[in-house]
Chains A and B, each alone.
Chain A
């Protein structure tokens, strides 16, 4: 099972890095870009298969360390991967 935490700057918080990227995209001639905000993605792998527990762990990680909630928002997602069918008898 995998999880993903996405951390983004709150609206209204100045993002100089996003601004610089926006400028670079414009100077590359990539048309139609109105603005860019930079964020962070954290991919986490879990040993267990308890989805609810995994979601709690992700939220705890974001609250305690990965996001500074004064300036950042976060979103967590749990992705259940590699769920295999139970083995069937071979005939």
Chain B
């Protein structure tokens, strides 16, 4: 799997992401600068990592979403290439119009930095084939604006089309407002675009890929993607 990690000023999770990609796919990802206008030839997966692009000025992800490299990311997605946005990356993809909805300030107004539980609702996508449907994973989260909202029609469509891949749940995988720490609509933590090739996810599976860090629950995302491309090859 040839991956490219897009780097904007203010992004700070790009090296964690690159490390996870390298460890699990066995290939060094290309780091692509925001001012570049093209992705490396043969890129399979584009990752927009987390952080605070442009200091979260204006709206989270708004300025990065209009950076020159995003035209290349949009073209990659239009051609069916896979795109993954994590945390600020999710916000950037929403602002770029590659994903529906908006990530609003957490309902409790606080920046939340801790481990959370996610239920993987489907395992039949390139992003989730490394998990079992219904599996609960523990991954770190760190954001102030992760409260996913969209108009009622969009939410209904997302649900009807099975485009919600990850939800905030309790440790047993049950929906519970007490575990939906940012107040996201329907506890949505990760959504797919209409074509099924762009995923946005708020928490950080890239930080739970090594036993030394206490959990390897995040490996499934990268292992699944690697397998997806290995089979396609």
Query: Residues of A with Cβ closer than 8 Å to B?
Result: 13-14, 16-17, 20, 64-66, 68, 70-71
Contacts and interface: CB of A to CB of B under 8 A. Distances in A.
A70 B102 contact: yes
Interface stretch (B104-112, B173-181, B205-213): B104-112
A83 B42 CA distance: 58
Contacts of B109: 16-17, 20
Interface string B143-168: 00001011100000000000000000
A13 B150 CA distance: 10
Interface in B94-115: 95, 101-102, 104-109
Interface residues of B, number: 18
10 contacts: A13-B104, A14-B104, A16-B107, A16-B109, A17-B109, A20-B109, A68-B95, A68-B102, A71-B102, A71-B149
Contacts of B101: 70
A85 B147 CA distance: 54
B15 interface: no
A65 B107 contact: no
Nearest to B104: A14
Contacts of B102: 68, 70-71
B66 A65 contact: yes
Nearest to A40: B58
Given A66-B58, A71-B149, A17 B66 contact: no
Report which residue of A14, A16, A20, A66 has the largest number of chain B beta carbons within 10 angstroms of its beta carbon.
A16
Nearest to B59: A68
A17 B144 CA distance: 12
A65 B105 contact: no
A68 B104 contact: no
A17 B106 CA distance: 10
Given A13-B149, A16-B104, A70-B150, 4 more contacts: A13-B104, A14-B107, A16-B109, A68-B102
